[in-house]
Copies of this chain bind each other. A is one copy, B any other.
Amino acid sequence: MPEHSAIALVGLDWGTTSLRAHALSPAGDVIDRRERPWGIRQLPAGGFAGAVTAIAGDWLSGPGSPPLIACGMVGSRDGWREVPYLDCPADVAALARGLVAIDTPSGPLYLVPGLRLTGDRPDVMRGEETQLAGGLALAAAPADTLCILPGTHAKWVTVEGGRVTRFTTHLTGELFALLRDHSLLGVPARGVPVRDQPADAVTASCPAAAGDAFDRGLAAARASGAAGLSGRLFSVRSLYLTGSLTAADTLEYLSGLLVGEEIRSGLADRGDVPATAFLVGDRALCGRYARGLAAFGIGDVALLGDTAPAGLWRIARAAGLVACGERPRSTGAPP
């Protein structure tokens, strides 16, 4: 365990299915990391407060303990306290100003707000804003860029002038899991032994390295043009029935179809094909997206991994929580 004096910030990434805690050094480096299956709907004894004490109590105890910040669904209607969404455009300074502090047995906990788009295409994110803040810092990204955060609910984010101006959610990961687990398309593969992988990602039940069947799915999605996925999805079944896909390959092909359709749709929605893109999140899943983006002509892609700790650090600094190496005394909204 790191010495207390070496911990400048404790950052929680608290979602629906898991709680990740990070101890950050005065330089903003992650010096310790813990993960528990304590999503906001499956809390341990003692509820939210008990979870914090159990996962990070030793980092937070005693005098001069580091400040505590959290992002993700913990700030949703079903979380510890609902934190209002911020309207776009929004940048790191706006996220810092929007922090909401709540009193906990472990001291004040600063909750990061999510982002909201209003108008005729409303959308929301909660947690991804922090990954974006970290991703852009890590990548020294240009002020104008496309960031994609693959996952259960993938986000396509347009950053302009260092601010999030627009974003769109694609249900790709959830659709993959639904089709694999409950649809006729998943029947052949459900009879095949598969690796034990997370249930909520496009990679679930697929090898980490995408294969030929994945590329066939990508190609089919690309070939569909403006017609899109609707008339292609059943090809998972018909290619299997006609002997062109093995049962074991059906999920790879489905993964390629869905990732390809997300990219096709996302680019059609933008109306252009940017030269570069940033991918934030699980490495294996981002690898599939990089392969997909390359198939659509975007070869200059940066894979950034888990950027939530860096984002929490950046927001905490912008809020002054770690600016002077001291924790602010107020438990209200930070300056």
Is the C-beta of A104 less than 8 angstroms from some C-beta in chain B? no
Is the C-beta of A184 less than 8 angstroms from some C-beta in chain B? yes
Mark out the residues of chain A between 151 and 208 whose CB falls within 8 Å of any chain B CB in the assembled complex.
153, 156, 168-172, 174-175, 178-179, 181-185
In the complex, identify which listed stretch (A45-53, A237-245, A273-281) lies at the interface while the others stay far away. Answer: A237-245
User: Complex Cα distance A233/B237, Å?
Assistant: 23
User: Complex Cα distance A175/B178, Å?
Assistant: 9
Residue pair A227, B182 in contact (C-beta under 8 Å): no
Is the C-beta of A146 less than 8 angstroms from some C-beta in chain B? no
Residue pair B124, A238 in contact (C-beta under 8 Å): yes
A221 to B: closest C-beta gap in Å:
10
Is the C-beta of A229 less than 8 angstroms from some C-beta in chain B? yes
> Most chain-B CB neighbours within 10 Å: which of A122, A178, A183, A268?
A122
Q: Given A118-B242, A169-B238: A265 and B124 within 8 A (CB)?
A: no
Q: How large is the interface on A (under 10, 10 to 19, 20 to 34, 35 or more residues)?
A: 35 or more
Return the chain B residue nearest A76 by Cβ: B241
Contact with B along A25-37 (1 / 0, CB 8 A): 0000000000000
Q: Given A225-B268, A265-B227, A265-B228: A122 and B242 within 8 A (CB)?
A: yes
User: Complex Cα distance A163/B175, Å?
Assistant: 36
Instruction: State which of B174, B179, B181, B230 has its C-beta within 8 Å of the C-beta of A229.
Output: B230
Is the C-beta of A121 less than 8 angstroms from some C-beta in chain B? yes
Is the C-beta of A266 less than 8 angstroms from some C-beta in chain B? yes
Return the chain B residue nearest A239 by Cβ: B122
Is the C-beta of A249 less than 8 angstroms from some C-beta in chain B? no
Write out the residue numbers on chain B whose beta carbons fall within 8 Å of the beta carbon of A268. 225-228
Beyond the given A153-B234, A227-B266, could you list 13 further A-B residue pairs with CB under 8 A, ordered by the A residue number?
A121-B235, A122-B244, A124-B238, A169-B231, A171-B234, A178-B178, A226-B226, A227-B268, A227-B269, A228-B265, A230-B262, A230-B264, A230-B265
